Structure formats: C-alpha cells, structure tokens
C-alpha cells in the first residue's frame, strides 16, 4: 500500500533526468531541472522517514515501569516552537496542569506533542491563535482516569467526513491551505499509533471549514501512590 507514494516521485525523478539527457541545454535550464529533482528527493525522503517513524511507533515496547512527568515535557515542547509561532504572527498559549504523570517514555510522547503542535502552527494563518492544554480528572489531588492533551487552533478547520480520515495513513485534507504545505500525511497516523500503544485514544473536532480545529490525545495516568 506504500508503493505508490514512493514510486510516483521516483518516476518523476527518472522523467526529469531523461528529459535533461536528450539534448544540450543552457545552464539555467539544468539548474531548474536539478531544483525539481531536489524537491522530489526531499518529498520521497520525508515519506520514507515517516514510514520508519510509524513502524517504530507500531512496534514500540511499552515499559510498565516508566514514569513520565508529562506536564514538564509538554511545557518544553511548547517553548521549542514559540519562536516559530511568533515569526508567523501566531499567538501561542499553554495551560499545563502540574503533577500529570504517565507510564510512558519521553521520546514517544514528545513525538505526539510535536506532531499535534507542529500541525497547528503550520496551518494556522498569520494573526491566528494556538492553545495547548494538559490536565486530568482529580479526586483529592490524585489522578482518576485519564490525562488529556488538547491542541486548539484557528486554522482552516474541516468537515465531518475529513475528520473521520485525518488519522489515516497518507491522508491529507483536500484544501488549499493544507495542500500548499509540504507533508507526508503520516504525522497523525504516528500520533495514533503511539497513543493507542499506551492504551489511549485520539480524536479531533472542528465547527467546519475555516473555523479552526481541536486535536486531542487521552492516556491512562498514574495516581500519587504510583
């Protein structure tokens, strides 16, 4: 099922090379051809890297003795993209509850946060807003159930049919805002694989096209006695 995603840019590469070899060209024409070749290679590299990340996510061992302060991790990941958001004219806010702990390792959860937050910043237009929240149900200061990470944006939004497919492999919404940005269509599939591997769930919602969106991940959290 992955073959078309790899064969299409390969076919384009071959076509560009064959055309360039048919006759002598001016240096500028060769530069243009090589520029397109570089773009095709970058697209194919992104797809291969995404597939490798997805394979790791699906086969990742989930150590039961791992203990992660996910609030600290989320705060760190938010700060990593704050400058990029500001350069795009996007307001980035975070409301992170302290003491949220998961039986998970940092690297996979960082990938979840990075994918959700990165998408929000990428697709939110200048002057827009992105908000990240993390919290859990509490009884007497202890975790009771799940921890929930939400990323809300004022980006292009989507309809219900699109929502149902956003976590599918290679799916990208067919809107000008999404198609204008590069992407493999694997980021949300990776998020889903990681979260479900830890016994959690993912989801998304939007009031409709042009009205922003919310993406979330819910994971079993640890109580104070753990």
- Name the residue range of residue 72's domain: 68-220
Mean pLDDT value across residues 114-143: 83
pTM to 2 decimal places: 0.73
CB crowding 167-205: b at 16 or more within 10 Å, else e: bebbebbebebbeeeebbbbbbbbbbbbbbbbebebebe
Q: What is the pLDDT of residues 2-17, one digit of tens each?
A: 555 566 667 777 777 7
Mean pLDDT value across residues 192-212: 92
Residues 73 and 177 occupy one common structural domain:
yes
Kindly indicate the confidence band of residue 97, based on its pLDDT and cuts at 50, 70 and 90. very high
Q: Which of residues 24 and 54 earns the better pLDDT score?
A: 24
Mean pLDDT value across residues 112-125: 95
For residue 161, give the CATH number of its domain.
3.30.565.10
Q: Which of residues 206 and 31 earns the better pLDDT score?
A: 206
Residues 85 and 127 occupy one common structural domain:
yes
Query: Considering its fold, how many domains does the chain have in total?
Result: 2
Domain assignment present for 178 = yes
Residues 120 and 149 occupy one common structural domain:
yes
Domain assignment present for 225 = no
**Listed residue (57, 45, 38, 39) closest to 6, CA to CA:** 45
Residues 210 and 152 occupy one common structural domain:
yes
pLDDT of residue 185: 77
């Amino acid at each position: 099922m992955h073959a078309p995603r790899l064969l299409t840019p390969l076919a384009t590469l071959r076509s560009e090379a064959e055309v360039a070899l048919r006759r002598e060209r001016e240096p500028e024409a060769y530069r243009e051809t090589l520029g397109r070749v570089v773009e095709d290679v970058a697209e194919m590299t992104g797809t291969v890297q995404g597939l490798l990340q997805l394979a790791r996510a699906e086969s990742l061992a989930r150590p039961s003795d791992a203990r992660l302060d996910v609030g600290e991790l989320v705060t760190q990941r938010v700060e990593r993209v704050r400058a990029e958001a500001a350069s795009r004219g996007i307001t980035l806010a975070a409301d992170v509850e302290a003491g949220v702990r998961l039986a998970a390792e940092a690297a996979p959860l960082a990938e979840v946060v990075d994918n959700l937050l990165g998408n929000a910043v990428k697709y939110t237009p200048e002057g827009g807003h992105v908000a990240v929240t993390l919290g859990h149900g509490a009884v007497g200061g202890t975790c009771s159930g799940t921890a929930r990470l939400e990323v809300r944006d004022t980006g292009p939004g989507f309809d219900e049919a699109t929502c149902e497919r956003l976590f599918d492999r290679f799916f990208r919404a067919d809107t000008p805002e999404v198609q204008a940005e590069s992407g493999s269509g694997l980021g949300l599939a990776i998020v889903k694989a990681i979260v479900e591997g830890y016994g959690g769930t993912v989801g998304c919602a939007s009031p409709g096209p042009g009205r922003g969106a919310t993406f979330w991940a819910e994971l079993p959290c640890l109580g104070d006695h753990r």
